[in-house]
Each structure stands twice: as C-alpha cells, then as structure tokens.
Amino acid sequence: MQLRAPDYLEQFQCLAGACPHSCCQGWEVVVDEASAEFYRTLPEPLGERLRAALQTEDGEDYFALTDTGRCPFWDTDGLCAIHRALGPERTSEVCRSHPRFIEDYGPLRETNLVASCPEACRLLLSSSAPLMFPRTETDEKGESGDPWLDPLLVVREKLFEVLQDRSLKIGFRLSELLALAAEAQILLDEDEAPSLPALCRAWSAPAPVCQMDGEGIFPRAWEMLSGLEILGDDWRALLCRGREAVPGAVPEALLERIVAYFLFRYALKAVNDGDLLGRVQLALLGGLVVDRAASLLPLDKALRLYCREIEHNEDNIEALLSVFRTEPTLSLSAFFRTLGDDAVEGLKSE
C-alpha cells in the first residue's frame, strides 16, 4: 500500500498537558464500540467512573462533557486519566488518532494533521517552503482502487503544480486552480475520467479573469458560515466582524501552504461523489476566509478556528458543497470575481 502525508507529519508530537487549546475541551468524545465494551467490563473505581460518563445516542457511544465543557477524564494537570491508568492503547480510537485524518482509497492511504490542533497548525505555518506530500510504501495489501482514482491523482498533482508556481502572484494561481477544476469537472460529468491526464498534459494557463460586475463571495460567505453549526463563541464573534476583514493579511507563501493543505485534504474525495470543482472551491474558501480573518486575529488562531468549526463537521462541509452548486453568490463566477484583481496582477508579473 502507498502512504502519503504532509512533509511535517513525523515532526508532530502531542503537547499533552502543555497544549493551549486541548482537544479534550469543547468536544464530545466519541467512543468506538470496542473501547466502550472494554470500559463496561472494568472493575471499580475507574470502571465505575467510565460507565457513569458513557452515554449512548442513536447507537453511538460518547463521553458527555462536564459543566465546564471538558472531557470528564481530562484531569486538572491537562492529562488523560484513561491514558494514565490504562495506557494510550485503551483510549478511544478518536483520541488515539487525533489530530490525524486518515483516508483510505484502496491502494492508497493518506494522512493529514488537522490544523485545529495547535501543534499541527504551528507545523503547517512554521515554514514558507512549498508544502510537499512524500510517498512511502508498506507491505500491507490494499484493496482495489476506484477507476477514477488514478485520473484524479493526476489532476490533483497538476493542481499542486499550478498552486506552487511562485513565478505568478497567488491570486492568479488560485484563479487558475478554479479554471482547471472547472474543465476537469466537465469531463467527470460526461463520465470521461480517463481523459483527465490528457487535459493536464495539455493544460496552459488561461487568460486572467477580468474584473466582472457584481460582488464576489464576500460578504455572503460570512453570512453562510454564520448559518452553519457553530461550536465556539470565539468563532461566532469572528463571523460577526467578518465585514471588517480585509484580504492580503497572509503572506503569499503561507497562503499557498494553507490552500495546499486544504487541497490535499479534500480534492481526492471527488472519487466518492464526482464533485471535484466543489471540493476545490471548498479548499479556496478556507484559504480566502483565513486570509481575511487574519486581518482581525493572529494567523494561527484564524486558521485553527476555521478548521475546528468546518473540518470536524461533515454537515457543515456538505452544506458548503451544496451552496457552491446552487447559490449564485458562492458560485464559480463569484469566486473568480473575488480573485479578479489579483489574477490581473499575476499576468503583469510574468
């Protein structure tokens, strides 16, 4: 099986008790079936405490948060009582894997470190070099891949190539990402995925999108985000100030890395539903929102809040993918309008 992950994966180490924004606070901890069965068999006193905290809803087990919004096993020293007493292997699967998001695509397994984690966020923002995703091989036998997998991998590699062409301004590169994704989407809609590699080989940068009449995706994007499920009051407060935010707060090299992070996270999921364009729009939305939010907050906090609120909530992601398809103010044209000025500047810099 092939493995792929961001180049800073091996540098990650959980900050544990030193973490400034612990994943043990504000989240209901989902407990996998094997862990829940084990907890129900443990003797007292820890077993009694575990069984008292364990809740079940719609067939899913979880630890309900305390009145202070903490996991009931998060001790005052910032460490996990389960981890301390039983070892890391006896914590719930979600606790063992966080902040890793792992996606299996048959013969390919991809791991990302979600930037809602302060240390993962720090690693992403700690370099201005292009973000790389090296491959490794294991002896594990993977399942057969979807027929669309290899063509979509070629498209994603081309998207990375376009994004990381630093001879051009970032606004032009982001517009080109959208243009390439839109052309690839036409082929996917026509069930012509085998033609995607040829599209990428023949691809050349289109003429820049001239400034068009009408608004871009802002301020509507702030309103849309405000209508999704919201976890924290700090995110709600930021969204209320969205109209005050201005673009250009993030250095181009870091904005490129942030968009690359989102592309790696989302683009290949089009193998499941065919919506490549929507997932590229999702990646760009993350970058554009964080770029503006960073004019109001420190960059690491802006990125961490966005990822906490969006990446951990599949309902929010699906809602965004839906409005890209149905709402003109968040359509492809609206994205091009938002990027229009920077795209023209990109052409001048060639």
Q: What is the pLDDT of residue 341?
A: 54
Q: What is the pLDDT of residue 222?
A: 97
Cα–Cα separations (whole angstroms), residue 195 to 137, 159, 199, 228, 325: 27, 16, 6, 37, 23
CA–CA distance, 317 with 82 (Å, rounded to integer):
32
Query: Peptide bond before 45: cis, by omega within 30 degrees of 0?
Result: yes
Q: Return the DSSP state at 26.
A: S
CA–CA distance, 43 with 197 (Å, rounded to integer):
59
Strands (E), the chain: 2-4, 29-31, 54-57, 60-63, 100-104, 108-113, 135-137
Q: What is the pLDDT of residue 95?
A: 87
Of 265, 272, 273, 276, which Cα lies nearest the Cα of 310?
A: 265
Q: Tell me the two tokens of residue 198.
A: 């040829």
Q: Are 29 and 135 in contact (CB under 8 A)?
A: no
According to DSSP, the β-strands at 54-57 and 60-63 are: antiparallel
Angle at the Cα of 296 (from 292 to 298), degrees rounded to 5? Answer: 95
Q: Tell me the two tokens of residue 231.
A: 């976890």
Q: What is the pLDDT of residue 214?
A: 64
Q: What is the pLDDT of residue 345?
A: 40
pTM (2 d.p.):
0.91
Domain layout of the chain by residue ranges: 2-11+100-137, 24-97, 149-348
Q: Hey, what long-range contacts does 200-206 have (CB within 8 A, 24 or more apart)?
A: 200/154, 200/155, 200/157, 200/158, 203/158, 205/162, 205/168, 205/172, 205/176, 206/176, 206/179
- pLDDT (tens place) for every residue of the chain, 350 residues total: 999 999 999 999 987 778 888 887 777 789 999 999 999 998 888 889 999 989 999 989 999 888 888 889 888 888 888 888 889 888 998 888 889 999 999 999 999 999 999 999 999 999 999 999 999 998 888 788 899 999 999 999 999 999 999 999 999 999 999 999 999 999 999 999 999 999 999 999 887 655 555 679 999 999 999 999 999 999 999 999 999 999 999 999 999 999 999 999 999 999 999 999 999 999 999 999 999 999 999 999 999 999 999 999 999 999 999 999 999 999 999 999 999 854 444 444 44
Amino acid 304 reads R
Q: What is the pLDDT of residue 187?
A: 98
Q: What is the pLDDT of residue 143?
A: 83
Q: What is the pLDDT of residue 213?
A: 59
Q: What is the pLDDT of residue 209?
A: 54
